[in-house]
Amino acid sequence: MTYDQKQEVRVHIRWMIRRDMPAVLDIEADSFEFPWLEDDFIRCLRQRNCIGMVVELDDRVVGFMVYELNKTRLHMLNFAVAPEFRRLGIGSQMIRKLIGKLSAQRRSRIVLEVRETNLAAQLFFRENGFRAVSVLREYYEDTPEDAYLMQYRYRVERAPELEPESPITRMAG
C-alpha cells in the first residue's frame, strides 16, 4: 500500500500551551538521541518570533512542532510525532499546516536541519516536498555530526492550462 492509498487520521493542530509540556517532553525523549530539555523549550518559546504547536488525536497530544518566524522564511527548530502514531499522516498534516502559512509576498520558504544519520527524517521531509540544499559541517554541539539543510519553497498553484484544440477536433465538430 503506497502513502497515497493510506487513510490519514484526523487530528487537531493548535498552539502549544504550558500544560502540553509533559506530553511534548515525552515525545521528544522517545524521538531523539539528544532531546531538548524543558528549559530549551521554554527559552525558545519565550522569544517573540518562536511558535509552538501541538497535534491532538482524541484529546491526546501525539506530536508537536516548534518554528521560528523570520522575515522571508519559517525555520523549523523541532518536529516530532510520538513513535506509536508515526506513518499515519500526522506529520504530513503538520507540514501542510506550515506550508499554508507561506506566501509569495512574505515568507516563501521553510528551512530545517536534519542530522546526516537521521535517514527517516530525511525521507519524510523529501516526501513532503523538501530538498537538501547544503551540508552543514559539524553542525551539532553534542556530536561532530553534519546536518543537511533542507528547504521547501512556496509554489503558486496554477490552474491546469487548457489544451489547445487540435485541428482534427475542430474539423470533426
Q: What strands, in cross-sheet order, belong to the sheet with 131-136?
A: 12-15, 50-57, 60-69, 73-81, 109-115, 147-153, 131-136
Q: Taking Cα atoms as reference points, which of 7, 95, 4 lies closest to residue 55?
A: 95
Q: The domain containing residue 119 runs over which residues?
A: 3-154
Q: Does residue 161 lie in a domain region?
A: no
Q: Does residue 163 lie in a domain region?
A: no
- Number of structural domains (the chain) is 1
Backbone angles phi, psi at 171, to 5 degrees: -70, -30
> What local confidence, expressed as pLDDT, does residue 167 receive?
54
Backbone angles phi, psi at 13, to 5 degrees: -110, 125
> What local confidence, expressed as pLDDT, does residue 5 receive?
44
Residue 35 belongs to domain with CATH number: 3.40.630.30
Question: pTM for the complete prediction?
Answer: 0.83
Q: Does residue 164 lie in a domain region?
A: no
Q: Does residue 160 lie in a domain region?
A: no
pLDDT in tens, the chain (173 residues): 344 445 678 899 999 999 999 999 999 999 999 999 999 999 999 999 999 999 999 999 999 999 999 999 999 999 999 999 999 999 999 999 999 999 988 999 999 999 999 999 999 999 999 999 999 999 998 889 999 999 999 987 655 555 555 555 555 44
Q: Does residue 172 lie in a domain region?
A: no
Q: Does residue 70 lie in a domain region?
A: yes
